Amino acid sequence: MPDKVLLLGIDVGTTGCKAVLIDDAGQAVADATHEYPLSTPRPGWSEQNPDDWWKAALESIRAVLAQKGARGADVRAVGLTGQMHGAVLLDRAGDVLRPAILWNDQRTAEQCDEITRRVGAERVVRLTGNPVLTGFTAPKLLWVKQNEPELFAQTTATLLPKDYVRFRLTGERFGDVSDASGTALFDVARRRWSDEMLEAIGVPKSWLATITESPEPSTRVNAQAATQTGLAAGIPVVAGAGDQAAQAVGSGVVREGIVSATLGTSGVVFAASDRYRVDPRGRLHAFCHAVPGMWHLMGVMLSAGGSLRWYRDTLAADVCDRARREARGAYELLIEQAAEAPAGCEGLTFLPYLTGERTPHADPHARGAFVGLTLRHNRSHLTRAVLEGVTFGMRDSLELMRELGLTIERVRASGGGARSAFWRQMLADVFGCGIATVNVTHGAAYGAALLAGVGAEVFPSVIEAASIAVQELDPCVPREDRSDYEAAYRRFHALYPALAATFHD
């Protein structure tokens, strides 16, 4: 028998659509993911068919209802999250005009420069909390206007990815403050669309979704979608959040002082803020949070776990062979090896800029390097230097947050790297604060389900929902004497300015 209260979270990701059902205690009771393809019609381009998102959402919703043996009427509310920044263009009939241009598409460098010239670099950061980046939505719309004018002339609406799925669920165009913050069209301080940014690219405000706070029940499942999904018509659909903000809700990063550090292929440092803070140089992202009345700061490094994967595949093939023979994980063996070297690697430093960098340098030409090699160094030093370089790179984001007056009490670590007790201790020592993991492993979809619970009044607030559902695990504290890491971090911090001209040459 299904629980009395079920809440549904849907995550429209880059590789697939995930659905998660949770109960009123925050316990995940069913989950399902259905994948879809990614198209790269030209180098640097990245597109998807929005109809694929909808078909995958249908399959995932039906799958979780079947897993739980639940009726559609057992679901109290739906929350949405998904990949940010994408551009879906609709005509007057609500039909999609072209494949969606995604967050990782790089075709819009000229449009970013043009928007920045029109508005002014400092003014852009003051208005939107960020510089105009190729991943964001505004330059995509300007690119279509300049390169596909016939399609642009047919456009009457533009939606972000999760909000297109909402459109198919409800027939209405709504969005939320956190996802809108990543468009370069949103006044992040005032939590509303920016007339000035819209005028700069020539997009009417009527094209844009109505924006509300993340847990607000803005729309309801319509009869057609109810038939397709198995949900009941009239179920409220809350505004939801962009994937990073929803992930933070699902990790309990919902008040100032709590920070998340995600060690995946990329590395993300995310901090809740009780007021609008913006780095005047735009080195940190400043977005509205999914918690009403709060904002968040975010730093992104492009090659975090990706650096260790490169090292494994390029310089540690024998470790992979040994892992297969011993039926163990290659990363587990590499980290055991790293532990044999002392903190600071006796002067060896690794720069993890293998694919350029975003925070704090925003430099696509930044490059990776081992610096300080001597005859003294062996494999264990090289391996540990990679781990330390990634950790130092993530500390750069923390230091920028501290410069803006943010107090950092504790960090909640997630991602593949956080499974290592050795790496978690390194994080605690380098960051200078306590580190813990959390009991939740369902990602942004789980956060979306919690937001649905707030909108349905199952939970009184986002903060209360997170406190009920999220518990810390595996706590560790920094060592008293961390001078070895402090000296190593100073060396790391000095290297990019010293080498930047060489990278650009």
Task: Give catalytic residue positions.
Answer: 243
Classify strands 100-101 and 157-159 as parallel, antiparallel or unpaired: unpaired
Which is nearest to 386 in space by CA: 308, 491, 303? 308
Q: What are residue 288's DSSP bridge partners?
A: 295
The whole-angstrom separation of Cα 422 and Cα 406 is: 27
Amino acid identity for residue 493 in this structure: H
Q: Tell me which DSSP letter residue 208 carries.
A: S
Angle 379-403/305-315 helices, nearest 10 degrees?
Answer: 160
Residue 302 tokens read as 């492009």
Is the distance from CB of 61 to CB of 75 less than 8 angstroms?
no
- Per residue, what are the HEC states of 137-174? HHHHHHHHHHHCHHHHHHCCEEECHHHHHHHHHHCCCE
Angle 330-338/317-326 helices, nearest 10 degrees?
Answer: 120
* Terminal CA-CA length for the chain: 66
Which of left, alpha, beta for 228 (phi over 0: left; psi -120 to 50: alpha)? alpha
Residue 133 tokens read as 């980046």
Is the distance from CB of 258 to CB of 410 less than 8 angstroms?
yes
Residue 295 tokens read as 């904002």
